[in-house]
C-alpha cells in the first residue's frame, strides 16, 4: 500500500521556514542589520522601496566574507556566531543561521561582500531558493545585501502584507530599535528616497535624544541601578510626557532590542501611580546581565527572552525606574506644547529645569495691585524668586484654583492647587503606611453615614484593613456605617463621599484579594478627599508652602491620577505663543 506520508522537498521546507523567520519586510531588515552589527560594522545604511516589499538594501563596512564563506552563508543553519553548540552565553545578535536562506527562499537575494584585506569582492544570488555560483566582482570592503520582490515565491504570504506605508513604519521602527541599542554605530535610513534619519556614532544619551525626538529629549531622566548581577541604565521620560501606545518604549537586554513582557509589565507598574490611565511611558532602558541567566533561543525572531529569575528582574526594574521618577517637582518641568499664535496651547511637552545660575539676573519684585484691578485674580507682593526653588515664588492666585509663580530664570509657573496637594497627601499617606499604618484622628462626634447595602457590606468586611489606613468604622444597623476616626492627614473631609468612593474601589477587587494589592489606588482615593479643593482661596504663606513641599515631594509633577500638577513656560515659549518668534 502506498504511504500517505511523504517528505517535503527542500525548497518547500525552506519556504515554510521562511514564513516563520521572515514574517514581513521589517523582519528581513532586522535580520540583515543584526548581521551587519555582528560583523563589527561602524556604519550601516538601509534603503527601502515600497516599505521593503519591492526592495531592501543594507550596506555595511564590517568584516565582510570571502568566497567560501559567502557560499556557506546562504545555507540553512550555517553560522559563524556560535563557538559551540551548547546555546549558552550567546553574545551575538544572530546565531540560528536561518535569516539569509529564509530570505533567499522567499525573495530575490543578492549579496556582495569583501573582507578588508581582499583585493576584490565576491557576489552570490538566491532566487526562490535557487542558489547561483559565487562570482568575483567589484565592491567596497564590507557587505551589501539587496532583497527584491519579497515573498514573490510565497504569494500566500505576500497577499497578507499591509500597505507599503505601514510596512515602512514597521521597518523603520526595527532599525530605530537597533540603532538605539548600538549608539556607537552610525546609521542612515532612507525610505522611498526620503531620509528618515542619519545618525553618526555617538554617546548613548545623544542617540536616545536623536531617536526619541526633541520633545522627549527635553524630558529625559537618567536611570542607573545595580543589584547582584543585574545592571539597569538608560533614560526614562517624566510622567507628563506619554504616548497612546507603547511604541516609544525601547528595551535592550545585553545589547539586544527586545519586546519582552516581563520588562513591559515592570515599566507599566513603575509608572502606574504617576501616569494617566491608558497612556504609555516613553523609555530607553538597557539591562545587562550574565548571558547564562537568560535564554534568547525562544523564538526565531529573537525578540522574546526567558529569564532564569523573572520575578527578580521585574522587581529590580520596577524599583530602579521608580527611583528615577521619585524626584520632586522641578526636576523635570512640564510645559505647554507650543502652537502658532491664535491657536490654543496644549499639554504635552516637558522641559528640564534650568540649572542654578542660568538666568543673567532675577526679575524685579512684583508690586501688588488693587483687588478690583484684576477680576478673578489676587496679586501678592513677593520677594525675588531664588535659584534654590525650581517652582519660584508665588505672585497670584487665579480663579481661586491656580497659583501663578515666577521662577528665578524668569519662567512662568502655573500650579493646579488641588492636583498638587492631592499628590502631597498621597505621598504622606504612603509614607505613613510604610512606617506601620496611617495615623488616625478621632472624630469629636462620630458620624453616621447611610450607604447602599452592597457598599456598606464591602466596607464593613474590610474594617481591620481600613483601620490601618486610619479609617475606623463599624456597623450601625441596616446599611448605616458609624465613622469613629478618619486619617489625620486628610484634615476633616465629609465622610460620606469618601466612604462611597472607597466602596467603589473595593467593588473592583475580588473578595479574596488583600487590600494591600491595590493599596496605592485606595490611598489615591483618600488623598483626593483630603486635598485643597479648587475654589479655595490661599494666602501667600500657604502658596509658598505648597510650592516648597512640591519641590521636596517624590513624584509631585503629577497627581495621583497621572495629570500634571503644574506647567512651566520659559521666556522663549511665551514669545512663541505671542508670535514674537
CATH number (domain holding residue 302): 3.30.230.10
Kindly tell me if the per-residue pLDDT of 92 is higher than 80: no
pLDDT of residue 11: 65
Does position 368 have pLDDT exceeding 80, yes or no?
A: no
Same domain, yes or no: 115 and 171:
yes
Contacts of 96 (CB under 8 A, 6+ apart): 77, 79, 297, 300, 302
Per residue in 285-327, pLDDT (tens digit) is: 999 999 888 877 665 556 677 898 999 999 999 999 998 888 7
- Does 415 map to a domain? no
Is 238 among the domain residues?
yes
C-alpha distance across the termini of the chain, in Å: 86
Distances (CA, A) of 352 to 35, 196, 335, 394, 566: 38, 27, 9, 20, 13
Tens of pLDDT, residue by residue over 443-493, are 889 999 999 898 899 899 989 988 988 889 999 988 899 999 988 888 777
Q: How many CB atoms lie within 10 A of CB 18?
A: 26
pLDDT over 80 (residue 45): yes
DSSP 51: G
How far apart CA 547 and CA 540 sit, in angstroms, is 11
- 3-state SS, 300-344, equals CCCCCCEECCHHHHHHHHHHHHHHHCCCCCCCEEEEEECCCCCCC
Same-domain pairing of 140 and 22: yes
> Quick one: pLDDT at residue 525?
74
Considering the domain architecture, whether residues 132 and 59 belong to the same structural domain is answered as yes
Separation of CA 519 from chain center: 24
Residue that terminates a domain, selected from 308, 324, 340: 324
pLDDT over 70 at 552, yes or no: yes
306, 324, 342: which is the final residue of a domain?
324
User: Per the domain annotation, does 304 fall within a domain?
Assistant: yes
Answer yes or no: is 476 within a domain: no
Q: Are 354 and 389 in contact (CB under 8 A)?
A: no
Nearby residues of 287 by Cβ (< 8 Å), 6 or more positions away? 230, 231, 232, 251, 252, 253, 254, 263, 313, 317
194-207 tens-digit pLDDT: 999 999 999 999 99
Please say if the pLDDT value at position 355 is more than 60.
no
Residues 135 and 281 in one domain: no
- Per the structure, the complete domain to which residue 310 belongs is given by 204-324
> Same domain, yes or no, for 214 and 191?
no
Going by pLDDT thresholds of 50, 70 and 90, the confidence category of residue 514 is low
Each residue's pLDDT tens digit, 399-431: 888 999 998 888 899 999 988 888 888 888 888
* Per-residue DSSP letter, 68: H
Sign of torsion over alpha carbons 252, 253, 255, 259 = negative
Do 223 and 154 share a domain, yes or no? no
What is the grid cell recorded at 327?
524626584
- Res. 96: pLDDT tops 60: no
Asked whether residue 38 is assigned to any structural domain, the reply reads: yes
Q: What is the mean pLDDT of residues 363-391?
A: 52
225 and 194 share one domain: no
Local confidence band at 340 (pLDDT 50, 70, 90 cut-offs): very low
Residue 394: inside a domain: no
- Whether residue 346 lies inside any domain: the answer is no
Q: What is the mean pLDDT of residues 538-549?
A: 89
pLDDT band at 504 (very low <50, low <70, confident <90, very high): confident
Q: Exposed, middle or buried by CB within 10 Å (0-12, 13-18, 19+), for 297? A: middle
Q: Look at the chain and report how many structural domains it folds into.
A: 2
Residue 172 shares a structural domain with residue 298: no
The last residue of one of the domains, among 324, 341, 375, is 324
35 burial level (CB within 10 Å; 0-12, 13-18, 19+): buried
Residue 244 has which C-alpha cell?
497612546
Co-location of 137 and 87 in the same domain: yes
Q: What is the pLDDT of residue 351?
A: 36
Q: Are residues 46 and 181 in the same domain?
A: yes
Q: Are residues 18 and 155 both part of a single domain?
A: yes
Does 376 reside within a domain? no
CATH number of the domain that residue 135 is part of: 3.30.565.10
109 and 235 inside one domain: no
> Is the full-model pTM beyond 0.85?
no
Q: Exposed/middle/buried for 342, CB within 10 Å: 0-12, 13-18, 19+?
A: exposed
Amino acid at each position: 500500500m502506498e504511504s500517505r506520508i511523504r517528505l517535503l522537498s527542500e525548497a518547500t521546507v525552506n519556504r515554510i521556514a521562511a514564513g516563520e523567520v521572515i514574517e514581513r519586510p521589517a523582519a528581513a531588515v532586522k535580520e540583515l542589520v543584526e548581521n551587519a552589527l555582528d560583523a563589527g560594522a561602524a556604519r550601516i545604511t538601509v534603503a527601502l522601496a515600497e516599505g521593503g516589499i519591492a526592495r531592501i538594501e543594507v550596506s555595511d563596512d564590517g568584516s565582510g566574507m570571502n568566497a567560501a564563506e559567502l557560499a556557506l552563508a546562504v545555507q540553512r543553519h550555517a553560522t559563524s556566531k556560535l563557538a559551540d553548540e551548547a546555546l549558552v552565553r550567546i553574545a551575538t545578535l544572530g546565531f540560528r543561521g536561518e535569516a539569509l536562506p529564509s530570505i533567499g527562499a522567499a525573495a530575490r537575494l543578492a549579496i556582495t561582500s569583501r573582507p578588508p584585506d581582499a583585493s576584490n569582492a565576491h557576489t552570490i544570488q538566491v532566487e526562490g531558493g535557487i542558489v547561483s555560483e559565487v562570482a568575483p566582482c567589484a565592491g567596497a570592503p564590507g557587505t551589501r545585501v539587496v532583497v527584491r520582490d519579497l515573498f514573490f515565491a510565497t504569494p500566500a504570504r505576500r497577499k497578507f502584507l499591509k500597505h507599503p506605508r505601514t510596512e515602512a513604519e514597521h521597518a523603520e521602527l526595527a532599525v530605530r530599535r537597533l540603532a538605539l541599542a548600538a549608539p556607537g554605530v552610525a546609521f542612515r535610513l532612507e525610505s522611498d528616497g526620503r531620509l528618515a534619519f542619519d545618525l553618526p556614532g555617538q554617546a548613548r544619551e545623544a542617540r536616545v535624544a536623536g531617536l526619541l525626538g526633541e520633545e522627549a529629549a527635553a524630558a529625559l531622566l537618567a536611570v542607573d541601578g545595580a543589584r547582584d548581577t543585574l545592571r539597569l541604565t538608560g533614560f526614562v521620560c517624566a510622567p507628563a510626557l506619554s504616548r497612546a501606545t507603547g511604541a516609544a518604549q525601547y528595551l535592550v537586554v545585553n545589547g539586544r532590542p527586545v519586546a519582552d513582557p516581563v520588562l513591559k509589565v515592570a515599566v507599566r507598574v513603575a509608572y502606574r501611580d504617576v501616569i494617566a490611565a491608558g497612556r504609555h511611558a516613553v523609555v530607553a532602558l538597557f539591562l545587562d546581565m550574565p548571558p547564562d541567566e537568560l535564554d534568547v533561543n525562544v523564538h526565531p525572531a529573537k525578540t522574546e527572552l526567558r529569564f532564569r529569575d523573572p520575578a527578580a528582574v521585574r522587581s529590580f526594574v520596577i524599583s530602579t525606574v521608580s527611583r528615577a521618577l521619585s524626584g520632586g517637582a522641578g526636576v523635570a518641568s512640564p510645559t505647554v506644547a507650543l502652537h502658532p499664535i491664535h491657536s490654543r496651547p496644549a499639554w504635552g511637552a516637558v522641559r528640564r529645569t534650568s540649572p542654578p545660575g542660568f538666568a543673567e539676573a532675577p526679575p524685579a519684585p512684583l508690586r501688588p495691585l488693587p483687588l478690583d484691578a484684576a477680576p478673578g485674580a489676587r496679586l501678592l507682593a513677593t520677594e525675588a524668586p531664588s535659584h534654590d526653588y525650581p517652582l519660584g515664588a508665588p505672585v497670584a492666585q487665579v480663579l481661586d484654583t491656580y497659583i501663578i509663580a515666577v521662577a528665578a530664570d524668569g519662567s512662568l509657573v502655573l500650579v493646579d492647587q488641588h492636583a498638587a496637594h492631592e499628590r502631597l497627601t498621597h505621598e504622606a499617606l504612603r509614607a505613613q503606611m510604610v512606617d506601620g499604618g496611617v495615623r488616625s484622628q478621632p472624630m469629636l462626634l462620630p458620624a453616621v453615614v447611610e450607604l447602599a447595602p452592597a457598599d456598606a457590606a464591602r466596607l464593613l468586611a474590610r474594617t481591620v484593613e481600613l483601620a490601618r489606613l486610619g479609617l475606623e468604622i463599624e456597623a450601625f444597623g441596616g446599611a448605616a456605617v458609624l465613622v469613629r476616626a478618619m486619617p489625620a492627614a486628610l484634615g476633616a473631609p465629609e465622610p460620606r463621599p469618601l466612604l462611597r468612593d472607597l466602596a467603589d474601589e473595593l467593588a473592583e477587587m475580588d473578595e479574596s484579594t488583600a487590600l494591600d494589592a491595590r493599596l496605592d489606588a485606595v490611598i489615591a482615593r483618600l488623598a483626593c478627599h483630603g486635598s485643597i479643593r479648587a475654589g479655595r482661596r490661599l494666602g501667600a504663606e500657604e502658596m509658598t508652602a505648597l510650592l516648597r513641599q512640591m519641590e521636596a515631594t517624590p513624584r509631585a509633577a503629577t497627581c495621583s491620577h497621572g495629570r500634571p500638577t503644574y506647567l512651566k513656560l520659559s521666556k522663549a515659549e511665551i514669545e512663541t505663543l505671542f508670535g514674537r518668534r
